[in-house]
Structure 1
Amino acid sequence: MNHVPGISYFKIRGVKTRSSRAAFTLVELLVVIAIIGMLVGLLLPAVQQAREAARVMQCSNNLKQIGLACLNHESTIKFYPNSGWGYAWVGDSDLGMGWKQPGGWSYQILPFMEQQALYSIMGDGDMSTMNKAAGSTLLQTPLAFLHCPSRRTPKLYDGSTTDTGGNYTRPAQRAKSDYASCMGDYGYGQLEDIRTA
């Protein structure tokens, strides 16, 4: 044995030396994995509940914004949005608001929901013409405020193309809404009667 000056080769009593370094055993590793799995299993439903609560809150916020838009419509135009001429018609900004407007309530509140460009898409400056292509574009624009995230996402849905709309060509896919409104019990032929009521 070679002796290096200044280094003592005496063993210290009471100190155990190990030839291998400390490591996890397979059993310890499996226990840690099981504990992590249980924690994830307990936390996952809580995370899903929090996400669903956020989606429900967004639905409530959508309804609040729609209600405020209807109130702003009433404040500006002096009446609430009406039902339009029925499902076969889309809105035309050239026709203004009221009984002459073929678009329903969701179209009539667009300017009050920061959607002025979409509201004006049918407008061509001529009240006697119908821009059927623009009407199809209007129907193919999903709007987030018309969808409840708990139910579905805003996207295009397949629909019938066999019938045509009154002032648009019915596209193969169109946007939908999760919200509806009651506009009273007046029929199409009675709309003109209510403007003087």
Structure 2
Amino acid sequence: MRVLGRVPRKAFTLVELLVAIAIIAVLMGLLIPGVQMARESGRKVHCRSNLRSMALAVQSYETAHRVFPSGYVANHAASDVDASTLDASPGTSWGLAIAAFLEEQRAAAAVRPNDPAWSVASPQAADVVALALPIFLCASATGPRDPFAARRPDGSPHPSGARLGRSHYVANAGHADPWDESPPRRSWDGIANGPLYRNSRIRAAQITDGLSQTVFLGEHTSAVSEKAWAGVVPGAASHPGERVATLLGGHADAAAALVLVHSGPAEDEMRIIHPPNDPAAHADQMFSDHPGGAHVAMGDGSVRFVSELIHQPTWAALSSINGGEVVPGDRSE
């Protein structure tokens, strides 16, 4: 009887193994960016939805009250205004004003405007103003998402111990050059050529540039400075204020979600929306963690994605309510 010999098993050679590994690496290299892009696309859709809902709530507020909500309602007679900056008397922001129209009934029911003892920093408001409301949080935003402790403009802890829920969305207070001490209009109500500034009471008829050509809301992530959806605690930093210089140095903690939208002098080529330089110098601007730009909500409720390299005069024109500028239709995307 003949015994069959054992057939030798053929194995991968080193070259074949290296080729297989290289092919897998190439496939992974092609697949991972696609997955990341798909995830970011989903996050952008969610962000647009948030802004769309808030823009519609602002419109509903105007329908009910015949004026748009104030960017921030300040009490000028408050005794605890920071004397060094004349900034940030206690008050509530546009986010709290539209809470009822966002179906955030707990937040809306907590406000007691006729009670002098009630403020954003009062014990009665502590549970509400510390809420992390999902609609005010962008899915692409980096950094912490939990409530933050209010601080004084010098960075020291605020004596109230208030903790405030974050907002990754801000209101447009107007445009100005924060390096220039001569803004378009200066008063206790701040720089007032946008639709939602301190103690504003803007009617739709006053927005002669057109609602579809005026930015109302936009993004501002915690990577630059903290923003609260509910309002301002006494003596914390807020902007825009009477002293434009206070915009710099990162003095934006515990401020109402209220910003300027201009990046600087016209000859300055820094990026407008997603600045690559010192974040402290951009605490007063819209800012996003989306690649290439940020979302803004216009007065008519539409939402646009604005390029980080938008032409500065165009960006300034979109920021004012009655500048009379003609905005090219293809410059905002």
Which TM-score band applies after superposition, normalised by the shorter structure?
0.5 to 0.7
Give the aligned partner of residue 19 of structure 2: 31
Give the aligned partner of residue 79 of structure 1: 67
Give the aligned partner of residue 93 of structure 2: 104
Q: Secondary structure of 1:134's match?
A: helix
Give the aligned partner of residue 165 of structure 2: 175
Query: For residues 168 and 137 of structure 2, what CA distance do their matches in structure 1 show?
Result: 5
Amino acid at match of 1:30: L
Bigger relative contact order, structure 1 or 2, given CA contacts below 8 A and separation 6+? Answer: 2
* Residue 41 of structure 1, CA deviation: 1.2
Q: Which runs of 5+ in 1 are unaligned?
A: 2-8, 12-16, 90-101
Amino acid at match of 1:114: E
Which of the numbers 52, 55, 60 marks the counterpart of 2:48?
60
Give the aligned partner of residue 98 of structure 1: none
Query: For residues 54 and 157 of structure 1, what CA distance do their matches in structure 2 show?
Result: 27
Matches within 5 A, 1:84-99: 84-85=73-74, 87-89=88-90
Higher helix share: 1
Give the aligned partner of residue 146 of structure 2: 155
Name the CA shift for 1:121/1:43 in 2 (closer, same or farther; >3 Å).
same
Q: Secondary structure of 1:79's match?
A: coil
Name the CA shift for 1:183/1:170 in 2 (closer, same or farther; >3 Å).
farther
Task: Check conservation: 1:122, 1:134, Cα contact below 8 A.
Answer: no
Give the aligned partner of residue 93 of structure 1: none
* Residue 182 of structure 1, CA deviation: 3.6
Percent identity, aligned pairs only, is: 28
Query: For residues 109 and 57 of structure 1, what CA distance do their matches in structure 2 show?
Result: 22
TM-score by length of 1: 0.63
Amino acid at match of 2:148: Y
Give the aligned partner of residue 188 of structure 2: 187
* Residue 81 of structure 1, CA deviation: 1.2
Q: Secondary structure of 1:181's match?
A: strand
Query: For residues 18 and 108 of structure 1, what CA distance do their matches in structure 2 show?
Result: 84
Task: Check conservation: 2:62, 2:69, Cα contact below 8 A.
Answer: yes
- Please identify runs of 4+ aligned residues in structure 1 that moved more than 6 A: none
Which of the numbers 28, 40, 43 marks the counterpart of 2:31?
43
Pairwise CA RMSD: 3.6
Higher strand share: 2
Q: Secondary structure of 2:170's match?
A: coil
